[in-house]
Structure 1
Amino acid sequence: MNEELQQRRYAAFRSCGRLLSGSRPVSLRERMASLAAEAEGVHDLDERPDVYGDGVVRALERRVAALLGREAAVYFPTGTMAQQVALRYWAERTGSPMVAMHPLAHPELHERRALTRLTGLHAVWPTTAPRLPTPAELRTCEERFGTLMVELPLRDAGFVLPAWEQLVETVAAARELGARVHLDGARLWESTVHLGHPLPEIAALADSVYVSCYKSLGGLSGALLAGGEAFAREARVWQHRYGGKLFQQWPAALSALVGLERELPRLPRYVAHARTVAAALAEVPGARIDPLPPHTHQFRLWLPHTADALTEATLRLAEEQGIALFHYWDEPGAPGLAMTEVTVGAAALEWTSEDVGKAMAALLALL
């Protein structure tokens, strides 16, 4: 989206009275004010700012390690950096540079081949189906691998999750092959509902876990790696080598603590309401929801129109009627078939099925 369109969307969505997907855009002033107000209850604001990862950053690391039931956690400025560190750690332990992952996994689609260019590791795909690989697919993988990376949920397949039994069996198969297991849990926080198990039990399946501070939690930025003490010690070494040991990171760390306090307990409610929203959207003429019902509070909506037409109609609906529905439209498949990712958060909880139907009718009328 170009700068002019971004500014138009920012202005339109800020003024809307109702928002279905995601959160309302805020200004820098509003973001700073809300952080100052909300952080008061999650950390001692009279404490000195962190220096190279101590103070509030260490407090965040301890909190996340406890939530995941792991010995230690290490904060990183980005998930891309964090996962490279985790995967190279296990490559060195197994002696194999091969990482089994899905072709739709984040390192394959969104990191400019950093895993290979910077870390010297290589991906092998046990399956191209939009799901977790099966034990049989791992056992018959065309190349031997030392690490299995599992993205929970698999975002670019539609935020899909396996059943708990499938996940357990797949992890067990990887271990039978002598591989280590790493969870890409950027959105692990909201996966407990579908999997039917708490965070510590999910994290216990893997040797290491990555979680995001801003996806779902609403933090400014950042990520954490969680695992054993030895894993965390070496992760800090590579964090420094990759340039991730920043002088001060207190705004991002505070915002993550706020997210853990405020958003984490709300996620099961968002997931439940996402099913209501998805069912209502599925009634729209020509609409397709994937998956239906959603596995988390995020899912994909497809409509048989161009992305440009839907983008313009979405912006006009926000500008003229004060209703903000979706943020971005794209055409990742066939031309004329557009897709948007829907995120059901706090703003969407007030929407009924009837509300969704009426708003979509208004949107389609503008096409």
Structure 2
Amino acid sequence: MRDTAEQSGQDEEKSPRERLRERRTAAFRAAERVLSRGGYHGTLRERLTLLQDAAPEVYDLDERADIYGNGVVAALEERVAALLGTEAAAFFPTGTMAQQVALRCWAGRTGDRTVALHGLAHPEVHERGALSVVSGLRTVRLTSEPRLPTADEVRAFEEPFGALMLELPLRDAGFVLPTWEELNEVVEAARERDAVVHFDGARLWESTVHFGRSLDETAGLADSVYVSFYKSLDGFGGAALAGPHTLIEEAKAWRHRYGGMVFQQFPTALSALVGLERELPRLPGYVRHARVVAAALREGFAESGVAWARVHPEVPHTHEFRVWLPYEADVLAEAAALQAEETGSMLFASAWDTGGPGLSFTEVTIRSQGLEWTADDVRAAVADFVARVASVAGG
């Protein structure tokens, strides 16, 4: 009885927004139909079972476990280097560490600690100033417009910089990419300024459809590339830095100094190899179906009479994109939870964020679960969702 009372008291202490978030999370877990269900949402048992079942397909489990980066970790590094067409690659526990090390190494080689990047780039928005606070680098913003920097902006920037960092795709602008021609022009503009080019390619894996080029051809434009193993490949975590042998050897020394020389990492490395084997070949299909879903969303909102709705980009560049609607975030989150609770289908599973007065956006991701949704399914779900939004907004 006391436990129940204590729980009730704890629930009362939570804000309405916290309780709504917990409801939305529970509704997502219980929903029968979603557009995406990343493995990280699973239980420990589910994650371990998947690894136990899939790992024998990608590595000899009778080999000795890794110690400080050998064995399966070294095999993963070789696989990544081969996929990206680089001389070498180094495994890192996080992308934040990998990119700090890469840019620090380049600063030592160029003699310039200034890094030019986008105002919405991950280090500027999500890493608490790590490039400057931890690594002693200085960042300058080429632009904060919701698109990648242009070649003209690179050429005209008034200060020198030793490295240009490009996030491909730019997540906080809506997972946007430049055209292949624009990307080549930007890289060439940096070269004209004697700057090295580093790709934040956390989601580079799914960019091949938009560019119409292979992974190695895309990575070959840059001097170094970082890729993630969990954002699109559904691994447990981890990242890799790829580039020339000399850079990677130096990066491994800095990895040790930064605390990234982990004793054993075989679960994460194995999950990354599974992701490369299973998810990487599926990503182009996810991208193509994201375009079907995006078109159906636009049509559904138009048919439902929503005064202003946007899917951005209109034709998604990857398997992820944003949806903007003219309502408060809490109204949309409540409607999303209700839809899942009452129909078993959850059209919008990610959080809704405020984008301005009376305007909110969410991110939509298409994975294998989303392939089951036809355009008609999406339009019907939109109609149901809009009716729930109207009911919630009307009180």
TM-score class normalised by the smaller sequence: over 0.9
2:333 and 2:67 mapped to 1: Cα distance?
44
Matches of 2:71 and 2:101, distance apart in 1: 23
Q: How does 1:234-313 map to 2 (within 5 A)?
A: 234-283=250-299, 284=301, 285=306, 286-313=308-335
The question of whether the paired residues in 2 share the 8 Å contact of 1:310 and 1:329 is answered with: no
Deviation by residue 1:270-322 (Cα, 9 ceiling, x = unmatched): 11011110011112123201111011111000111111111111112112211
Equivalent residue of 1:119, what SS?
coil
What displacement does 1:15 show?
2.3
Q: CA deviation at 1:12?
A: 2.2
The answer on whether the counterparts of 2:20 and 2:333 sit within 8 Å (CA) in structure 1 is no
Greater mean alpha carbon deviation, residues 22-31 or residues 278-287:
22-31
In the alignment, which residue of structure 2 is the partner of 1:326? Answer: 348
Instruction: Indicate yes or no: 2:93 matched with 1:77.
Output: yes
1:358 maps to a residue whose letter is: A
Aligned length: 367
Match of residue 375, structure 2, among 343, 353, 357: 353
Residue in structure 1 matching 2:223, options 186, 190, 207:
207
For the 8 Å contact 2:324–2:360, the answer to whether it is kept is yes
**What corresponds to 1:182 in structure 2?**
198
Structure 1 unaligned residues grouped into runs of 5+: none
CA offsets, 1:232-263, max 9 Å, x none? 10110010110011111111111111110001
The separation in 1 between residues aligned to 2:313 and 2:205, in whole angstroms, is 19
Once residues 68 and 132 of structure 1 are traced to their aligned partners in structure 2, the CA distance between those partners, rounded to angstroms, is 22
Write the letter of the residue equivalent to 1:18: R
Q: Which moved more, 1:166-175 or 1:326-335?
A: 326-335
| Letter matched to residue 74 of structure 2 | R
Match in the other structure for 1:23: 38
**1:336 counterpart = 2:351:** no
- Bigger helix fraction: 2
Give distance in 2, aligned partners of 1:326 and 1:240.
41
CA distance in 2, matches of 1:324, 1:259: 25
Distance in 1 (CA, whole Å) between partners of 2:270 and 2:378 is 35
Q: Distance in 2 between matches of 1:229 and 1:269?
A: 33
Identity of aligned residues (%): 62
Q: Which moved more, 1:258-267 or 1:123-132?
A: 123-132
Unaligned runs of 5+ in 2: 1-14, 390-395
Note if contact 1:135-1:169 (Cα within 8 Å) is conserved in structure 2.
Answer: yes
Alignment partners' CA distance in 1, 2:92 and 2:286: 27
Distance 1:244 1:342 in 2: 32
Question: What is the aligned partner in structure 2 of residue 173 from structure 1?
Answer: 189
Deviations along 1:36-56, one digit per CA (max 9) or x if unpaired, are 111120111122221111111
TM-score norm. by structure 2 comes to 0.90
What displacement does 1:28 show? Answer: 1.1
- The 1-side partners of 2:219 and 2:190 are apart by 16
Give me the whole-angstrom Cα distance separating, in 2, the residues matched to 1:130 and 1:291. 11
Q: Which residue of 2 aligns with 1:144?
A: 160
Contact 1:192–1:198 at 8 Å: present in 2 too?
Answer: yes
Mapped to 1, the partners of 2:216 and 2:114 lie a distance apart of 27
Match of 1:226 in 2: 242
Residues 101, 150 of structure 1: 8 Å contact kept: yes
Q: What corresponds to 1:104 in structure 2?
A: 120
Q: Retained in 1: the 8 A contact 2:36–2:368?
A: no
RMSD (Å) for aligned C-alpha atoms: 1.5
User: Based on CA coordinates, which of the two structures has the bigger radius of gyration?
Assistant: 2
Equivalent position of 1:125 in the other structure: 141
CA–CA separation in structure 2 for the residues paired with 1:97 and 1:22: 40
